[in-house]
A and B are shown apart, each in its own frame.
Chain A
Amino acid sequence: MPESKVHFFSSEPIVALLGNPNCGKTALFNLLTGSRQKVANYSGVTVERKEGRLTLDSGKNIRILDLPGAYSLYPRSLDERVTCNVLLGRAEGEKRPDLVVCILSAMNLRRNLRLVLAAKRLGLPCVVVLNMLDIAQRQGLQIDTVALSRELGLPVLKSIGIQSNGADEIKSFLSNLDWRNLSALQTGTSDATLESVASHIAHTESDNVLVQKILQNLKLDQIIPDQLSDRLDSVLLHPVFGPLILIALLFCIFQAVFSWATLPMDMIKTAIEYFANQITEILPNNWVRSLLINGILAGLGGVVIFLPQILILFFFILLLEESGYLPRAAYLLDRVMGSVGLSGRSFIPLLSSFACAIPGIMATRSISNSRDRLVTILIAPMMTCSARLPVYALLISAFIPEKKLWANIDLQGLVLFLLYLAGILGAMGVAWVLKRFTSEQFRMNALMMELPSYHLPRLGNLVMSLWQRAEIFLRRVGGIILIMTIALWALSSFPLPPEGATGSPIQYSLAGMLGQALAHIFSPIGFNWQISIALVPGMAAREVVVSSLATVYALSSSSADAAEALIPLISSGWSLATALSLLAWFVFAPQCLSTIAAVKRETGGWKIPIIMLSYLFGLAYLASFITYRIAISLGLA
């Protein structure tokens, strides 16, 4: 029997901000609500829901909802569907807004006004806000707001989203509003329903005629191009220089992500080791101590250690997004991505995956086409995340000789580069195969991407967005990583070894038994039982494999230089073929459970994570098998 849900809504009125994408809506939302914002998801979908609070001069509190940007009120993307459902009062768990604030970009009245006309038909009380007036004035555009208000039959307010007092007119309007009787702002019946296709087409035509007439009456029907943006584009989107500038920019971002993050990451590592030592000194050597150090502390460390890289990467992505460059990067890459059946929009999620697949998977929300989004999620784990680096570093320094090739190229560096390349090529290959197997109908993926004018990013907005991303990462993913680490600690610690056991304790645990069983599966690709056991706790996070190997080889795992102690052991114990096979395994293997959990969360079911788990496992096994067999036939056993 389906459970009926009862929702309780607070009596505070809800004001919904509606507007086209790129109309400066979010900046206004930040001005109105300041830091009093809550970011969550709309019930049942992965569309971000932003709500904030505003206290009016009268002392009254109102809730402000920042609706996803929409080009029309006929839903074509997930974002637009949510916006429509909220405005119609049909979104699950949402109260229908009491007032709609339509935000218009003064620079683009023709398209924005069509949305106002559609909003008026909903029958909700409406107010119009003319935003970006500063830019309009600079470009010599004079807008008669009184005349516009007369044409629309609605109040028209003025705002400047990038000035700290730019939303004051909206605030004072809301303060002076009689919230018990908003019918003066209402222009239709309030029982509106979603438009049918036919009525949408009819409205599109009549609205277009009406908008043209309004613009003519206001003498605004000429188009003023944004010359600064056009001049910047002539360089940044140049067919030759554009891609070169993009590559240089990405190179700098990567350098920054990895070099700036070193210091905070080292500090986090030192702090965790310090706490581990403190606990070792205080507590006796029993399972409680082990749980605290290898379970909880390691789990917390695993969450926090990637935060510096993720924050730095997100800082740059937000900077590019605010400035207007990001859609242009997608434009430049669209043809490459198109060749494997994706669009330029998949680029940012894949870029983020080089730091960690989880924020990358979270970033796929910006892809409107659901097929593109799924494919991007499926291939994101193949981008070499930074957790693979410690494993690569260990294996490369143990097995690849330090020597210079021609042109002074370092062999070890070359191998590392090849591993990154293998991941990218593997991802492209999988996307290409998926393209071949997708029916024509779903392959009609549109680009139709707006390239907004360039803007100078505002530090306040950047910091607020960065803070929200960090919070989302910690809240949604932190818990998963922590729980996984503790669960895997329990697996590798119990049952305890019998009295007088000679091997390392992990051998007698559940993980050890599992590993020894797995060794049968892994022996065709050259993995010994030590590797097989270490791969089990490595499911928490890839870099854990290094310390697990140290545990299996009965080294003291708490020492920071476990890797250094391991190098002579494994380089004498393993064949080169085994090492190469393990490297190939790490390029593709579905190693970390947190990624799988994130995929489950983002796709709302087990289907996609299971598909991902099985295809990545198959691919990794195949790659390792081929690598191992070729290496053996070359006499590297």
Chain B
Amino acid sequence: MNLDQVELGSPYRVCVVNAPKGAPQMKGQLEDIGFLPGEQVTLLRKGLLGKGPYMVRIGASTFALRESEARMISVECYLHA
């Protein structure tokens, strides 16, 4: 499951970041700001009509991500971890 499909307000865990072929640097960029395996992530807010940008809590910080960026982040339910 990717971060753009999760339920609003529920905690998840980051599994891995999958950058698209055309932009491999996005993986490192997302990891640098905290999207690392095992970190707790919550989708806090979507824009009008459920579109982006998304407001995401990763660890203790909050980031705005575009839909395409959220789609790169693979997550799993918090309880399964």
Residues of B within 8 A of A44 (CB): none
How many residues on chain B are close to A (CB under 8 Å)?
36
Asked whether any CB of chain A lies closer than 8 Å to the CB of B74, the reply is no
CB–CB A71/B33 < 8 A: yes
CB–CB B38/A447 < 8 A: no
Residues of A within 8 A of B63 (CB): 448-451
Asked whether any CB of chain A lies closer than 8 Å to the CB of B7, the reply is no
CB–CB B22/A451 < 8 A: no
CB–CB A110/B53 < 8 A: no
Residues of A within 8 A of B53 (CB): 331, 334-335, 344, 447
A205 to B35, CA, bound (A): 11
Q: Which of A446-484 contact B (CB under 8 A)?
A: 446-453
Q: Which of B33, B38, B44, B45 contacts A448 (CB 8 A)?
A: B33
**Chain A's interface: helix, strand, loop or mixed, by majority?**
helix
**Chain B's interface: helix, strand, loop or mixed, by majority?**
mixed
Q: Which of B29, B32, B40, B46 contacts A223 (CB 8 A)?
A: B40
1/0 per position for B43-81, CB-CB distance to A under 8 A? Answer: 011111101110101011111111001000000000000
Write the nearest CB–CB distance from B56 to chain A, whole angstroms.
9
Residues of A within 8 A of B38 (CB): 208, 212
Q: Choose the segment among A143-151, A232-240, A560-568, A609-617 that binds chain B (4+ C-beta atoms closer than 8 Å).
A: A232-240
Residues of B within 8 A of A208 (CB): 36-38
Residues of A within 8 A of B45 (CB): 233, 237
1/0 per position for A201-241, CB-CB distance to B under 8 A? Answer: 10011001000100000000001110001100100010110
Q: Which of A307-362 contact B (CB under 8 A)?
A: 327, 330-331, 334-335, 338, 344
Residues of B within 8 A of A447 (CB): 53, 64-66, 69
CB–CB B36/A239 < 8 A: no
CB–CB A444/B23 < 8 A: yes
CB–CB A201/B65 < 8 A: no
Asked whether any CB of chain B lies closer than 8 Å to the CB of A278, the reply is no
* Chain B residues packing against A (C-beta within 8 Å): 22-23, 25-26, 28-34, 36-40, 44-49, 51-53, 55, 57, 59-66, 69
* Chain A residues packing against B (C-beta within 8 Å): 71-72, 74, 76, 107-111, 197, 200-201, 204-205, 208, 212, 223-225, 229-230, 233, 237, 239-240, 327, 330-331, 334-335, 338, 344, 440-441, 444, 446-453
Q: Which 6 A-B pairs have the closest CB atoms?
A: A239-B48, A72-B32, A451-B62, A108-B60, A331-B64, A71-B32
**What are 21 contact pairs spanning A and B, CB under 8 A?**
A108-B61, A200-B28, A208-B37, A212-B38, A230-B44, A233-B55, A237-B45, A239-B46, A239-B48, A334-B52, A335-B52, A344-B53, A440-B22, A441-B23, A444-B23, A448-B29, A448-B33, A448-B63, A448-B64, A448-B69, A452-B61
